[in-house]
Structure 1
Amino acid sequence: MRTEHETPAETDTADLRAGKDITLDEIATELGAIELRLRQLARAAETPATPVEIADAIDSLRSSASSVRELRDRMGFLSRIVEGDVPLATAFPTGDPWGVAARGTDRTDFGGPATIPTMWQLIRLAQDGKRVAAGGRETTTYPKAMNGIGIGWESKAASARRRRERDAAVAVEVLRIACEKCGASDGQQCRTAKGWASEKPHVGRQREAEGTVDAALGYLGDNPVAVPDA
């Protein structure tokens, strides 16, 4: 399902990955291609076919290319981490564990247990891991620390997108249901006691629409029962 602002081209990502899901290595490679293309475009824009001074646009292209390059390098480093090439600290400076070891822990700082670490946490663990290894102390690797974690996992961005898709579907479904409270029929918005149209449907109508959509999408209340293709 596409959201209101997505285009078919935007959702067609098959050419970005060799397998079912894109790897960090593939992301880094794609970012490298984007960076090069931006720099090529900036160079080509120096001699446009018509006499228009677009120096600001050229500077913007090169600035964007630099930002993409930084992200490319970061994704490249993360790809080495997840492949197990980079030694990592077994815990954060606070002593809090991460990955499998963080299951069931109560981490009060930084948003709770780092069972699924963020990219910034992994980079910090790599920095600390280098110092730990230099001191002769034990380190770990991403594959070892994350063994068994990730099956059925969904990123925050994907969850937010699916939530927007669900809410958009509910908004459409609401208008297909007659409202027992105010008598609004198919295609009509709910109305107040004074007859004013409202973008907020009555609770019963909203609840019925949510139930229909959630059953179709595999949701249980506000939470997905299963992640598609996980």
Structure 2
Amino acid sequence: MEELVTHLSAAAVWLRQLAVAAERPAVPVELEQVCDELSGQASRISGLAETLAEVDNIITEERPLARTFGGTEPWGFAAYGADTDKTRYGKRLSTVLTHHQVAALARPDTPWRADQAEPGIPYLEGLDGLPELDRWESKRADKRRAAEREKRIREQTRAEPCTTCGAEPGRECQTRTGRLAEMPHQARRQAAVATIDGTAEPAAASA
């Protein structure tokens, strides 16, 4: 996370420099709105870098976190496999936390610190025991890969001939009445999916 903070801070500096440079472009064009947008983006990125830097300190310094949210909901390994039917808490419990959750659980003014009813726990210790933790990645990774796959399928669909309406590669599918179809025919898309996923049968060799 430290490296991410460094790059975010550098990006904020770069955006501020661009904003200043845009105040006097080579060709006289008023770019005040662009300058303000660049400065605003720089401030947001800088704030994010500061937040992540604090979270990184919380984790690396092994600062104690409250063991539960609101004194009831566990997190980390303690939440793994707990209340799977969502009858007790009414929602899916957090195992790996967001940076906002880490910061919130480490706040110095949280009630558990005052009464010391239960000692806090460092973040990584709270995660210890979760299966395949060394292979964990953000949910965003799955969404990104799915979106990238769908884009490749759409592109490949246009590259496939349509066995339903006879559309050639690069041409849109047509309806039975000769109009352009809003969506490609299912057989054409399935052929594209097979190509992208590597399950398409190889073409027969010509004699």
TM score, norm. by length of structure 2: 0.75
* Whole-angstrom distance in 1 between the partners of 2:64 and 2:166: 65
Percent identical residues: 35
* Whole-angstrom distance in 1 between the partners of 2:11 and 2:56: 18
2:47 aligned partner: 70
Larger Rg: 2
Q: Does the Cα contact within 8 Å between 1:89 and 1:128 map onto a contact in 2?
A: no
Structure 1 gap ranges (5+): 1-23, 217-230
2:99 aligned partner: 119
1:93 aligned partner: 70
* DSSP-derived class of the 1:82 partner: helix
After superposition, the Cα gap between the structure-2 partners of 1:139 and 1:42, relative to the gap in structure 1 and judged at 3 Å, is same
Whichever residue aligns with residue 133 of structure 1, its letter is: R
Tell me the alpha carbon deviations over residues 90-142 of structure 1, each in whole angstroms, 9 at most, x when there is no partner: 11116121111211123576962212222222222222785423432311111
TM score, norm. by length of structure 1: 0.68
CA RMSD in angstroms comes to: 3.1
* Whole-angstrom distance in 2 between the partners of 1:32 and 1:160: 27
Partner residue of 1:132 out of 97, 112, 133: 112
After superposition, the Cα gap between the structure-2 partners of 1:206 and 1:40, relative to the gap in structure 1 and judged at 3 Å, is closer
* Equivalences for residues 50-199 of structure 1 within 5 A: 56-93=33-70, 95-106=72-83, 107=86, 112-127=92-107, 131-136=111-116, 137-149=118-130, 150-199=133-182
Structure 2 gap ranges (5+): 200-207
* Whole-angstrom distance in 2 between the partners of 1:195 and 1:130: 68
1:19 aligned partner: none
Tell me the alpha carbon deviations over residues 69-98 of structure 1, each in whole angstroms, 9 at most, x when there is no partner: 211111101212332532111111161211
1:11 aligned partner: none
Tell me by how many angstroms 1:40 deviates: 4.3
Tell me by how many angstroms 1:48 deviates: 6.6
Tell me the alpha carbon deviations over residues 117-168 of structure 1, each in whole angstroms, 9 at most, x when there is no partner: 2222222222278542343231111111112543332323322221121011
Q: Does the Cα contact within 8 Å between 1:84 and 1:143 map onto a contact in 2?
A: no
After superposition, the Cα gap between the structure-2 partners of 1:99 and 1:193, relative to the gap in structure 1 and judged at 3 Å, is same
* Whole-angstrom distance in 1 between the partners of 2:13 and 2:195: 47
The answer to whether structure 1 residue 206 and structure 2 residue 168 are counterparts is no
